[in-house]
Structure 1
Amino acid sequence: MQELLTSHRSIRQFKDTPIPDELLNEMLYAGLRGSSSGNMQTWSVIVTRDPKMKEKLFVAHREQEMVRQA
């Protein structure tokens, strides 16, 4: 799991299988512990399962379809 989360990849398509909260928290924790340039940690994470909120995020992110799927 650690190796998977600490290697760089860009994912653009997602399955519709829900992720259990415990696994999601474990993945977020591992991601926050990863290295960043100058230890600046210049990222943010938004977790939502609400379709209405996903639609708002879709519009805010220039209508990238991956936002609806994520």
Structure 2
Amino acid sequence: MKYVVGISEIVLWATDKERSLQFYRDLLGLEVISPSTLPNVFLKVGEGNAGIPQMIVLVPKTEMVKAAPSGYQLHH
């Protein structure tokens, strides 16, 4: 039987990306590990396994996503 040994990433929709970034980066002290040119923000939570850090990914919640049926909120 296989067991879960960790979680690599958690993806969160952000209706206000800057406010969310201020919370996770400035208040909790997480490190931004993605280039500023990307629309999504990757924040390092921990070291993780096999060289892949544990992270929170902030994804801007666009108008298209807001209009999607409620069952369509799980991304991957």
TM-score by length of 2: 0.30
Q: Choose between structure 1 and 2: higher helix proportion.
A: 1
TM-score by length of 1: 0.31
Larger RCO (alpha carbons 8 Å, 6+ apart): 1
